[in-house]
């Protein structure tokens, strides 16, 4: 799926992050996937940028082929962001673009807060700020995004329930938020997601990601309220998804970024899977601008 990419790993504080890398000798773009996926979600998008950019596609810790540490504290967006900050430093990039979807977008936002001078631009796909979502939670969003609170329950309750039929559970996430059935997903990409879901440690890692959101990320974001970043920010969202229906998505970021390019796209939460060429074209236009 990623012709011309090399597979490698990066070790930070005992946690190994697996990634794919395609070099062109030019400015770099870091692509960060979300829940419940892996780097495979970028298979139709990232290769369109090789030749014009160096492209890096990791698996977040807890996901895919990357390590799955046990401690919930290891899954804060701060820890995940530091994985990729040190990864990009190790590859020799002092400045780069960051693109994230879902959990990867939350990591991208935290990365931009930690090292704003290193981030040439940031693209956040189909999220509103973590602190805002939790602080102003409505019953409609809570019902649609119930998984935030189910997955955050103490181990091993959600792990045991999901492990009984992981394909059925994670399929319900993909199809429920995506506003599309299996036909909306590339078979190879879907097979890669499903292979990852079979691993009990991956299930635990994804649960710990959501446990950390309540235990650490809300407070981390509260401490940064009022910080407004100056790098160009592209805010993309699916106009038929929960975020698009319940929020003015770019407006939720207006006090966090001074320079926003809003892009609404057809479909639900998983529009990168469903309309990858449209996503790539809008992203390319943003990066060139």
Task: Compute the distance between CA of residue 216 and CA of residue 207 in angstroms, rounded to an integer.
Answer: 14
Catalytic residue among 54, 269, 273, 274: 269
Residue 102: active-site member: yes
Q: Where are the alpha helices (DSSP H) in 164-261?
A: 166-178, 187-197, 200-212, 218-223, 242-246, 249-252
Sequence-ordered strand ranges (E) for the chain: 6-12, 15-22, 28-32, 54-58, 96-101, 119-125, 233-238, 260-265
Give the contacts of 164 (CB within 8 A, at least 6 positions apart).
none
Which of 33, 24, 18 lies closest to 8, judged by CA?
Answer: 18
Angle 237-241-246 from CA coordinates, rounded to 5°: 90
Catalytic residue among 54, 59, 67, 102: 102
Residue 220: active-site member: no
CB count in 10 Å sphere of residue 185 = 21
Q: Active-site residue numbers?
A: 102, 269
């Amino acid at each position: 799926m990623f012709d011309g990419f090399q597979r490698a790993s990066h070790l930070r504080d005992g946690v190994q992050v697996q990634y794919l890398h395609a070099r062109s000798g030019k400015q770099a773009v870091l692509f960060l996937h979300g829940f419940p996926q892996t780097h495979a979600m970028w298979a139709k998008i990232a290769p369109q940028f090789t030749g014009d950019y160096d492209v890096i596609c990791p698996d977040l810790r807890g996901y895919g082929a990357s390590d799955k540490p046990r401690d919930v504290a290891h899954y804060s967006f701060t820890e995940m962001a530091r994985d990729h900050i040190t990864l990009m430093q190790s590859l020799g990039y002092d400045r780069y673009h960051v693109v994230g979807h879902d959990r990867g977008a939350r990591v991208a936002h935290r990365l931009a807060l930690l090292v704003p001078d290193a981030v040439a631009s940031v693209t956040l796909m189909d999220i509103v700020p973590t602190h805002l979502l939790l602080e102003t939670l409505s019953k409609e969003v809570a019902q649609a995004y119930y998984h935030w609170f189910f997955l955050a329950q103490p181990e091993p309750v959600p792990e045991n329930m999901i492990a009984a039929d992981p394909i059925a559970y994670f399929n319900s996430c993909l199809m429920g938020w995506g506003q599309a059935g299996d036909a909306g997903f590339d078979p190879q990409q879907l097979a890669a997601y499903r292979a990852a879901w079979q691993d009990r440690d991956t299930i635990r890692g994804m649960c710990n990601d959501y446990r950390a959101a309540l235990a650490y990320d809300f407070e981390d974001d509260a401490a940064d309220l009022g910080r407004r970043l100056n790098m160009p920010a592209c805010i993309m969202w699916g106009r038929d998804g929960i975020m698009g229906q319940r929020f003015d998505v770019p407006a939720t970021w207006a006090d966090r970024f001074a320079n926003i390019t809003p892009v609404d796209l057809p479909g639900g939460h998983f529009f990168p899977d469903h309309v990858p060429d449209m996503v790539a074209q809008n992203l390319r236009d943003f990066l060139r601008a």
